[in-house]
Amino acid sequence: MIVAIAWPAYRYHQPIYRWAAWQYWFRQCLAHQMPANIQLRDKNLEQKVALKTSHPDYCDGEPARGWITSTVYSPRAFVNLSMLDGRTYVGAGLAPAVAFLGERTRPDGERRLVIVRNDRTNGFDLLRHIHLTVLPVPSLFDTPHQTVNLNGGESHSGLFTPAAIESCTADPVDRTHVIVPFVVFKTNTMGSPWTIETDEVKASGIIDAYLTNDDTLRVQLRENSVTGDATAVHLVRSELRDYVNGVDAK
């Protein structure tokens, strides 16, 4: 009798533990509320230490090309989920900045986990380097996905002005809506498009993103929201659709 009970417990304890952890961290991500005006990234040494010491959701993050290693906002729930669910896998090494993590609801009422990753981008193509993952809520009969989302490398040619997506906000009234603020920095002089020499902002504005029934974020530049040099601000795409349920949907 003891052997009959002990052997299955030994044989299957790891898959059961993985399933339970996956279910738990997925729901922690769903429940995550983005703090107001959270700082997504800082490379100043003193502020890096202070952020990691004072807030559990900051960790060492991937450099934004020419940057030294940054401290980024990458919630603990997301980091743990990325180690259990291949659809949110971010690769070995340093964490990405997470601009939005939480639950949104499609117009047809289906709940989704929405993750917007990366923050540094191009003012002339504001969503060029921003990545979206939209995942359905798992049932108790679902198992962790093993498919690994290898986000691939990135390249750029053409006009470039350094920009950043700031922490996004979930609209409390319209549950399909995510508010995406952005800033465009003064152009660098070093010749490398990824080297941001100054935090001086030359333009800012808001992108409104709406979750649709095909798990796309339909995006539009909010009318009259751009302040500063509007010639440096371009929203090339009308939707953000990268990884839906772990499948490359570009």
pLDDT of residue 9: 45
Please name every residue paired with 248 in a beta bridge, in sequence order, or none if there are none: 243
- Name the stretches of the chain with pLDDT < 50: 1-7, 9-11, 65-67, 189-191
Distance CA 184, CA 177 (A): 23
Q: Which residues pair with 178 in a beta bridge?
A: 170, 209
Exposed, middle or buried: residue 174 (CB in 10 Å: 0-12, 13-18, 19+)?
middle
Name every residue whose Cβ is closer than 8 Å to that of residue 113 and which is 6 or more positions away in sequence. Answer: 26, 29, 30, 101, 102, 103, 133, 134, 135, 136, 137
pLDDT at 86: 85
Instruction: Output the six-digit token pair for 25.
Output: 């961290």
172 contacts: CB under 8 Å, gap ≥ 6: none
**Domains held by the chain: number:** 1
Return the H-helix or E-strand segment holding 116.
strand 111-117
- Residue 238 CB neighbour total at 10 angstroms: 10
What confidence score (pLDDT) does residue 189 get? 46
Q: Dump pLDDT digits (tens) for 28-73.
A: 999 999 988 788 877 665 566 667 667 788 887 765 544 456 788 8
Where b means 16+ CB within 10 Å and e means fewer, 76-115 reads bbbbbbbebbebbbbeeeebbbbbbbbbbebeeeeebbbb
- Alpha carbons 213 and 120: distance in angstroms, whole number: 28
| Residue 155: per-residue pLDDT | 59
Spatial separation of the C-alpha atoms in residues 163 and 226, rounded to whole Å: 13
Domain, as residue range, for 44? 2-248
Interior CA angle at 41 toward 180 and 53, to 5°?
125
Kindly report the pTM of this predicted structure.
0.83
| The pLDDT of residue 5 | 43
Task: Please report where in the chains the tokens 């540094």 appear, as a residue.
Answer: 120
Cβ(102)–Cβ(133) below 8 Å: no
Position 88 scores a pLDDT of 85
Closest CA to 215 of 240, 185, 193, 188: 240
Sheet holding 70-73, edge to edge: 41-42, 70-73, 58-61
